[in-house]
Chain A
Amino acid sequence: MRWHATMLAVVLAGGLVGWNVLGLTAPAWAGPPVEAVRKTIDEVIRILDDPAWKKPDRKEERRKLLERTISQRFNYPEMAKRSLGAEWGKHSAEEQNDFAANFQTLLSNTYIGRIEAYSGEKVQYLKELSDGEFAEVYTHVDTGKSMIDINYKLQKISDEWHVYDVVVEGTSLVLNYREQFKRILRKDSFAELSRQLRDKSAHIKAPVPDGSETAKGR
């Protein structure tokens, strides 16, 4: 009898751990930064999994909804500012806003196609490091073939956590763009950089997937 109780406890504990690892419930250590990231990721997955949104005539609408959901969590102006480094301060508020908008379009067009190709990958929340108004959330994405480490860097602005950098497999998105922008600005003007961002965004814009959405490009 006692043996059975022990076994039951082990199975239950194992089940709970498995449940947590799959990211299905909030782990006990999860603080507000993890909850913020989880809320957005869960919402994105819910939209992607919803059969109502999979209808071909609603794909364009779904893409807009996804972009809106993501932009509520991602602080694009801060990402643009950090990516531009010292150059940011040299420009007027209008130029900064224009640049941030172009940068948002570029990021959105770069990643939205990959997000739409989602096919049940599991997100695991590993740990959270917080330091005052800054935090880093460590996650693993299990694609079925490989595990990808993705860390989200967040900043608390008026009681809400916003992502300002994403570190994929140890490489920072902000640093990647900062080095590219620096290289372009060494040769060309800021206006030219803005123009290049616009051109690139238009060029890479992924076509809205049609009804016969398959595993292509995954």
Chain B
Amino acid sequence: MKDAKLELIVGVFVLVGIAALTYLAVKLGKLEVIGGGKNLEIHAEFDSVAGLKDGATVEIAGVQVGQVKKIWLNGDGERAVVSFSLTPGVKLYGDAIASIKTRGLIGDKYVSLSPGGSQKELPPGGKIRETESGIDFEKAISEFIHGNVK
């Protein structure tokens, strides 16, 4: 009888431990198991997304409103398509602009959104037409160090 009670306590303890570990893994891996379906999916095409990674943050006015889900090449194989998952309630309009920014001079890349304000709201699955790939610091520095051809 006493053994059964002990086993039950151990069992519950193990289950709680597994639940805690799962929660930690989901949180640290930034996976969306619960509530992921409600998020707003938007995509945008950039000339270059050099340095941007899956899971990078998406911000409006410095506030995180989502993350980068996937990055791939478009049909022509020339431009990068980035899909974002945004938290519910975020409103974007037809003239919204997505730009790739760097945290500090050599920090991580993230996506900054300017929501715009035209009459047409961007529907779920919509595409942000206006994008900015940002200044390529490496290119600028390399031109500065090595000089131009001309």
Binding site for B on A (CB under 8 A): 81-82, 84-89, 129, 131, 134, 144-146, 153, 165, 167, 169-172, 174-175, 178-179
Q: B148 near A174 (CB under 8 angstroms)? A: no
Q: How far is the CB of A51 from chain B (nearest CB, A)?
A: 28
Q: A171 near B95 (CB under 8 angstroms)? A: no
Q: B117 near A134 (CB under 8 angstroms)? A: no
Q: How far is the CB of A176 from chain B (nearest CB, A)?
A: 10
| Interface residues in B, total, Cβ within 8 A | 22
Q: A86 near B115 (CB under 8 angstroms)? A: yes
Given contacts A175-B132, A178-B97, contact A146 B148 (CB under 8 A): yes
Which B residue sits closest to A153, measured CB to CB? B130
Q: B135 near A170 (CB under 8 angstroms)? A: yes
Which A residue sits closest to B48, measured CB to CB? A170
B134 contacts the other chain (CB 8 A): yes
Binding site for A on B (CB under 8 A): 47, 79, 93, 95, 97, 99, 114-119, 129-130, 132-136, 143, 148, 150
Docked Cα-Cα span, A87 to B118, in Å, equals 10
Q: How far is the CB of B124 from chain A (nearest CB, A)?
A: 19
Which A residue sits closest to B97, measured CB to CB? A175
Q: How far is the CB of B122 from chain A (nearest CB, A)?
A: 13
User: What A residues does B148 contact at CB under 8 A?
Assistant: 145-146
Q: B132 near A170 (CB under 8 angstroms)? A: yes
Q: A145 near B117 (CB under 8 angstroms)? A: no
User: What A residues does B93 contact at CB under 8 A?
Assistant: 86
Docked Cα-Cα span, A169 to B135, in Å, equals 6
Q: How far is the CB of B98 from chain A (nearest CB, A)?
A: 10
Q: B97 near A170 (CB under 8 angstroms)? A: no
User: Can you give 11 A-B contacts (C-beta < 8 A)?
Assistant: A85-B117, A89-B117, A144-B150, A145-B150, A146-B143, A165-B130, A170-B132, A171-B134, A174-B97, A175-B97, A175-B99
Which B residue sits closest to A134, measured CB to CB? B129
Docked Cα-Cα span, A122 to B132, in Å, equals 24
Q: B134 near A172 (CB under 8 angstroms)? A: no
Q: How far is the CB of B94 from chain A (nearest CB, A)?
A: 10
User: What B residues does A84 contact at CB under 8 A?
Assistant: 117
Docked Cα-Cα span, A172 to B129, in Å, equals 13
Q: How far is the CB of A38 from chain B (nearest CB, A)?
A: 21
User: What B residues does A169 contact at CB under 8 A?
Assistant: 135
Q: How far is the CB of B112 from chain A (nearest CB, A)?
A: 9
Docked Cα-Cα span, A105 to B136, in Å, equals 31
